[in-house]
Amino acid sequence: MPTGRFALATLGLAGVVALAWFGMIIQIGHFDVDVFLRAGRAVRDGRSPYPAPGTAAVYSGSAFVYPYLTAWPFAVLSRLPDADTVFVAGSVLAVLAGVRLTGARDWRVYALVVTASATIIGLQMGTLNAWLFAALALAWRRRDHPGSAGAAVALAIYSKVFLAPVLLWLVLARRWRAAAVALALLAVLLGVGELVSPLGTASYLTMLGQLGRAEALAGVSLTGLLANVGLPMGGANALARGAALAVLAGCALALRRGHDERLAFTGAVVAGLLASPVVWCHYLLVLVAPLLALSAPADRDGAPTRADGVPTRAVGRPSPVPIAVFATATWFLATPHRSTAAGLAVTAAIGTPLVLSCLLAPGVRGAFAGPRRPTVPKVTLVASLTAVAVALGDIATMLATVHTPSAHVVGSYLVFVGVLALLAWAVRTTATRSTTERDGHGPASPRPTNSHGLPSTEDHAVAPRGVVAP
C-alpha cells in the first residue's frame, strides 16, 4: 500500500476507534471486569473469589464463576490505578491484533470488527471475549506450529469452557501434536486449579449448572430458545448438545470428502455456541475468527495440502464483504448499552457508507468464494429459505408467547439462523473443485472434439493412427 493511502487508512481507523471509545465504550461501568478485579483482590488476600454454591448470588450477575486460575492475572492487574480502563483498552488492542493475525490488511475490516455491536457490548462490559477472539485468531494463524496453536486453544478453553469443541478442530484436521499440546496444558491448568482452588471440581460444575438453568432463558442460546418455546430445560439442553454433535459429525464427514480445514474450525466454534446453555450477544465476537478465515479467497482447484493430505489454508487476504454483513447483523440483533437516538444516528451516518463501500466495491474476488451456480435457481433458493426461516420464527414466537408471555425468542432464533447460515456458507466456501464435481455441482467434463475443434459425435475415444479402436 502506498504511504499516502496507508496514512489515510490509519487515520480513518484511529478515528473510528476513538469514536467508539468515547461515544460508547466508556459510557457505562465495566461490570464484568469489575467482577474479575474483585476476584483478583480476593485471591491476593487469600480469600475465595466464589459465591456460595446453591445460592442466588451465583446468578446475580456480579459473581465470579470462572475457573480459579483465571483470577490470577487480575490479582496483578488490580494493583494498577484505573485497572478496569486499562483492561478494556487492552481488549481493544486484542481485537485489532486478532484481526491482524487472520491476515486482514484492509482498514475497513478492522473498523467493522471494532464497531460491530457484539464487540462494543463486550468492551462496554469488560468481558473476556476480545481475548478469546485473539486466542482463536492466534491458533488459526499458528496452526502449523503445534506449541503456540495448542497453547492458544488450551487457554481459550480453560477461560471459557463453551469453546471446548475447538479442541476437536485440531483432531479433525489431524493436527495431532497441537491437540496433544492443548490436552497437556489443559490437564496442567485443571490439575493446578484443583490443588489450589477453594472450590472443588464437583462443586464448581454444580455452580455452572445452576448458572446455566438461571440464565439460559434470558440469553440467545439454542437451549434458551428451546426452553422458551415449551421444552423442559433438560430436554432443551440435550437437543442443543445433540445439534452441536451433529455439526461436528458433519464437519468430520465433509473433511473426508475433500473440504478444507476452515470448515472444521468454523464448525468447532459454532458447535461451542450451540451446546452452551448460556450465550449472550457479545459472545458472537468469537465467530469473527472463523468468519475471517472463510473470507480469504481459496484456490478453487484445491487448497494446498500437508503431508497427510489434509487441505490446510486459503489463499489471499480476507475480504471485507462478509464482515460487513456480520457487523450490520449484530446491530439489528442488539444495540450497545445506553444507546441514544443521536448516538445511533451518528453510528448509522458513519457505518452505512463504510458497509456500502464493502458491499458495492467492484472486483471483490472471493468474498463469497464457492462454485458458481445459475443466478435464477440461487435467488429462488434464497427466497425459499428466507420464507421458511420467517415462518419458523413466527411459530417459535407464538409457542413462546403461549408458554411464557414474557419470553423473548427473537434474538435467540436470529442467532440460530445466523450460525446455520454461516455453516452453510462454510460448506460452500471450503469445497474444492474435486468435491463439487463429485457432488454433481461442478463444471461438466469437456466434450471430446475432433481435429477441427468441433464436438465429436463418437462416444468412444479416437484411437491413435495404426491402432485399432476396440
List the beta bridge partners of residue 305. 311
C-beta of residue 371 within 8 angstroms of C-beta of residue 439: no
- pTM, 2 dp: 0.85
Cβ atoms within 10 Å of 25's Cβ, excluding its own: 27
C-beta of residue 291 within 8 angstroms of C-beta of residue 256: no
Cβ atoms within 10 Å of 391's Cβ, excluding its own: 10
d(CA 227, CA 397): 12
List the beta bridge partners of residue 455. 449
User: Which are the contacts of 131, defined by CB distance < 8 A and separation ≥ 6?
Assistant: 91, 94, 159
Q: Where are the alpha helices (DSSP H) in 360-451?
A: 375-403, 410-429, 433-438
C-beta of residue 215 within 8 angstroms of C-beta of residue 59: yes
pLDDT of residue 5: 83
DSSP assignment, residue 80? S
pLDDT of residue 458: 43
Position 372: which residue type? R
Q: List Cα–Cα distances, 351 to 108, 289, 419, in angstroms.
A: 10, 21, 23
Give, for all 470 residues of the chain, the pLDDT tens digit.
567 888 888 898 999 999 999 989 988 888 899 999 999 999 999 999 999 888 888 888 889 999 999 999 999 999 999 999 999 999 999 999 999 999 998 999 999 999 999 999 999 999 999 999 999 999 999 999 999 999 999 999 999 999 999 999 999 999 999 999 999 999 999 999 999 999 988 889 889 999 998 899 889 999 999 998 889 999 999 999 999 999 999 999 999 999 999 999 999 999 999 999 999 999 999 999 999 999 987 644 444 444 344 444 444 688 899 999 999 999 988 889 888 888 888 888 888 999 998 888 764 444 444 444 444 455 555 556 666 666 666 666 666 665 565 567 888 988 999 999 999 999 999 987 555 555 554 444 444 444 444 444 444 444 443 443 44
CA 242 to chain centre: 19
pLDDT of residue 461: 41
DSSP assignment, residue 366? T
pLDDT of residue 54: 81
C-beta of residue 264 within 8 angstroms of C-beta of residue 251: yes
d(CA 329, CA 312): 29
C-beta of residue 325 within 8 angstroms of C-beta of residue 288: no
pLDDT of residue 368: 44
Burial class (CB in 10 A: 0-12, 13-18, 19+), 40: buried
Cβ atoms within 10 Å of 438's Cβ, excluding its own: 13
pLDDT of residue 390: 65
pLDDT of residue 301: 44
C-beta of residue 429 within 8 angstroms of C-beta of residue 372: no
Q: Which of 7, 1, 10 is nearest to 107 (CA)?
A: 10
C-beta of residue 322 within 8 angstroms of C-beta of residue 367: yes
Q: Which of 301, 442, 294, 437 is nearest to 372 (CA)?
A: 442
Q: Which of 315, 320, 302 is nearest to 364 (CA)?
A: 320
